[in-house]
Structure 1
Amino acid sequence: MKVMTIYAHPADTITNCGGTLARHADVGDEVVALILTHGGRIHANRYAEEWRKDAPDAAIAGAGLDDIVAFKKGELQRAADIVGISRVITLDRDDRDAALHDELVETVAEQIAAERPDVIICDYPQNPVMAANTHTVATTTVLAALGRAGAYLRNLDGRAEYHVKQVFLTSLPVFPTDGLSLFGVRNDVFVDITPVVGRKVAAMDCFDSQGYSGLFARKLIESANGEAGRAAGVNFAEGFYRLYNETHAVLPVTPAAMADDPLTRHVSYSRINLRAEYPIAE
């Protein structure tokens, strides 16, 4: 299987699905990450905080956009190496983009057609009227690009049409465990990232420029992945919402569901003390 993530900013791939990518990489799947923007202005903690000091470091406080982008790309590559992303593709768009751009849709469609992934992972578009939400803009771009990639004609476009098998959306802020809650809008797939949670912690620790390293990395995983794990019956999980329906020969019930014991699983999924097992480096 080939997995392709498409996100707005450098850290998004790791925070949203870094554990899932590590599990795919561990079974030999190819993982490619496409990042739409350079992320030079968003979460610029390293630079903004330096200005607050009485004697700021001139090299940090005076960094230009190219310097910031290069620093963030280094963080992203180190994180990608930890979780097993085989290739990172950066388009370096300005991270203030707040609208759908036809030329970017075409670029993303070309990347999808060239990479030919089986699966794409991107953000759930929270609210299409929130133009300032670059995550929504990014996913809207992806959905438009999927349609365009599926309409390519070799004799007109120089490339054949391509259709992905499934799109998994992240950051849906709903974790209920049954389909009747909130009229069925919920994460409908969970991936147990407990075996690789240490790698997700280490990967998030790479994003020091954003203030993601240390305490925040552990808090995010404890809260978001811990709550998804509670819903999934494991210590830590990442939740997804499938864009397309799936067809099976028989009704699908996972081995994890068959083995689950609702009476005692709250004990088993509460055993790991994340901060004790993965302490912050001094």
Structure 2
Amino acid sequence: MGGALTWNRVPCVLLPGAGASHDGEDSMKIMTIYAHPADTITNCGGTLARHAARGDQIVALILSHGGRIHANKYAEEWRKENPDGDIATAGLDDIVANKKGELERAAEIIGIGEIITLDHEDTYATVNEEVVEEIAERIALEQPEIVICDHPRNPAYFDPHSVATQMALAALSRAGTYLRNLDGRDDVPVRQVFLSGLPVYNLDGLSLGGVRNDCYVDITEVVGTKLAAMDQFVSQGYHGVFARKLVESFNGEAGRAAGVNFAEAYVRLYNETYSHLPVTEAALATDPLTRHITYSSVNLRGQYPVP
């Protein structure tokens, strides 16, 4: 059961080296669907980097333009005694263009082959049927095997992330019912949906009533790639120290649960069927007595200093 994601209902972990290159005939297409430009990188940038390295196709669908979300660069300029006129008076088009430039540079570092931005306002609060249809049409055009989006119970207070996921899941359902007779296109056979951003890292299925991530991807080998991509989002203060803090805390805690230095955690939407009981290579190779030492071996800020 090789490849960059190991799909098991036990918490699964990808071992380093399992994401080896393979020819294009065997490659998968992965589509991410997130609310804002930086979300794809912060949530699953390491996973995508591993998939890109082995030759999988990656397309990122961003629902909003991101002009108003985390506009730190522009808000902070007004706090200065002598603000830079170009920054302080930038219009929405200028802010959006800058954010898209950051996203393009980050995507190139990760290996994302295509970026699609729908350019909706990033302050939406409810599901919009027209946006659902837009997403469904994009899914139908791209025909991904795998979709990645936020967990619908993302705990953010103001949460367009959860709304984005509700629209993405509704669009997946809609795309799955397309019929050439009626719609001029075939249905879309998405095989699995991975939901990111659930901050529940308990170590077994009985803790906390069973609410947990059930799949972990080891991103230790590509954590520097993820940091380099995050360093592009200067306008929203996601670069430098913050990038390292986020990876240390968020991906470090996921790594602790997974028994590796750094991981990205997911909940799979669909159940999966096996011919035998699934146990990953990582589970068989782990020494429970010493794994806490092994997964604490990377000095992140020493190895990847703030640029």
- Shift of the 264–127 alpha-carbon distance from structure 1 to 2, 3 Å rule, reads closer
1:263-282 pair list within 5 angstroms: 263-281=289-307
Q: Does residue 1:13 correspond to 2:40, yes or no?
A: yes
User: Displaced runs of 4+ in structure 1, greater than 3 A?
Assistant: none
Of all paired residues, the percent bearing the same amino acid is 69
Shift of 1:249: 1.3
Hey, what's the Cα distance between the residues in 2 that align with 1:164 and 1:249? 21
Deviation string 1:198-230 (CA, Å, 9 cap, x unpaired) is 000100000000000011000000000000000
Hey, what's the Cα distance between the residues in 2 that align with 1:38 and 1:218? 25
Contact 2:154 2:161 in 1 (8 A): no
Q: Alignment length, in residue pairs?
A: 280
Q: Does residue 1:83 correspond to 2:110, yes or no?
A: yes
Question: 276, 280, 287: which is aligned to 1:261?
Answer: 287
Contact 1:131 1:137 in 2 (8 A): no
Deviates more, 1:152-161 or 1:44-53: 152-161
- Shift of the 219–259 alpha-carbon distance from structure 1 to 2, 3 Å rule, reads same
Query: Counterpart amino acid of 2:218?
Result: D
Determine the structure 2 residue equivalent to 1:168: 194
Hey, what's the Cα distance between the residues in 2 that align with 1:157 and 1:141? 20
Contact 2:154 2:198 in 1 (8 A): no
TM-score (norm 2): 0.90
TM-score (norm 1): 0.97
Q: Does residue 1:3 correspond to 2:25, yes or no?
A: no
Shift of 1:181: 0.6
Shift of 1:134: 0.1
Contact 1:2 1:29 in 2 (8 A): yes
Deviates more, 1:99-108 or 1:131-140: 131-140
Query: Counterpart amino acid of 1:121?
Result: I
SS at match of 2:62: strand
- Shift of the 12–149 alpha-carbon distance from structure 1 to 2, 3 Å rule, reads same
Hey, what's the Cα distance between the residues in 2 that align with 1:10 and 1:240? 20
Determine the structure 1 residue equivalent to 2:57: 30
Q: Does residue 1:177 correspond to 2:207, yes or no?
A: no
Question: 238, 261, 268: which is aligned to 1:212?
Answer: 238
Shift of 1:132: 4.1
Deviation string 1:88-147 (CA, Å, 9 cap, x unpaired) is 11000000111111110001000001101010000001279x994100110000011011
Q: Does residue 1:138 correspond to 2:170, yes or no?
A: no
Deviation string 1:211-253 (CA, Å, 9 cap, x unpaired) is 0001100000000000000000000000000000001111111
- Shift of the 151–248 alpha-carbon distance from structure 1 to 2, 3 Å rule, reads same
Contact 1:146 1:163 in 2 (8 A): no
Contact 1:98 1:131 in 2 (8 A): no
SS at match of 2:238: coil
Question: 225, 234, 243: which is aligned to 2:251?
Answer: 225
Contact 2:31 2:144 in 1 (8 A): yes
Query: Counterpart amino acid of 2:138?
Result: Q
Shift of 1:155: 1.6
Unaligned 5+ segments in structure 1 are none
Determine the structure 2 residue equivalent to 1:74: 101
Contact 2:30 2:58 in 1 (8 A): yes
Query: Counterpart amino acid of 1:205?
Result: D
